[in-house]
Amino acid sequence: MKRVAIFISGGGSNMVKLVESMTGDHPARPVLVLANSADAGGLAKAAEMGVPTAVVDHRPFKGDRAAFEDALQAELEKAAPDILCLAGFMRVLTAGFVSKWQGRMLNIHPSLLPKYRGLHTHARALEAGDTEHGCTVHEVTPELDDGPILGQAVVPVLRDDTPDTLAARVLVQEHRLYPAVLRRFAEGDREMLRLSAR
């Protein structure tokens, strides 16, 4: 059985879907949900689901990213996960941290990578006049929002979409894609999964 840690920064809706998926014959189980702020709404949801939680607040480290990441690493060593899932974790991790977890760390990003790395992906897709948008699960490498793509889900962009309506349509697919990719990854399957909106 593979052990999975999940890092969040906010509401944690993707985290909830990942945790809910890890039951029955699933090859993995959640062992830790960690947030970089005690305000992250997902912490209470994880606790309700019976998953151990931890907070490593980035603010007291005042930009000392190496010290922040040492604290993250200490929590991970206690929980001893095999796989680390970033799920709306809004801190950029340095190459030093990533190298410790490379090949074992996944991220979900709200665009069809390699398009729109970074922030404001939905507004950027609308501004570009794209007719399709979506989300990507990829292995984390030191380059931001780079790394081997493990799965993508595509949604149509509608004529009257705003960044919010588009984000909501993408999020529905994130909730399908990330659990599906995690299951395959835990089984050792690295082949890219393609989903489309249904």
Out of 26, 58, 109, 133, which one is annotated catalytic?
109
C-alpha of 46 from chain center: 15
Task: Identify the residue among 6, 7, 14, 98 touching ligand GAR (CB under 6 A).
Answer: 14
In angstroms, give the least distance from the CB of 15 to ligand GAR. Answer: 6
By CB under 6 A, name the one of 2, 5, 7, 10 that touches ligand GAR: 10
Say how far apart CA 44 and CA 42 lie, in whole Å.
6
Compute the distance between CA of residue 95 and CA of residue 88 in angstroms, rounded to an integer: 19
Rule CB under 6 A: choose which of 71, 123, 171, 172 binds ligand GAR: 171
Return all residues near 28 (Cβ < 8 A) that are at least 6 apart: 1, 2, 3, 4, 22, 82, 83, 182, 183, 186
Binding residues for (6R)-10-formyltetrahydrofolate: 65, 107
Query: If binding is defined by CB under 6 A, does position 148 make contact with ligand GAR?
Result: no
> DSSP secondary-structure letter at 49?
T
Active centre residues (catalytic) = 109
Binding site for ligand GAR (CB under 6 A): 8, 10-15, 87-88, 108-110, 135, 171, 174
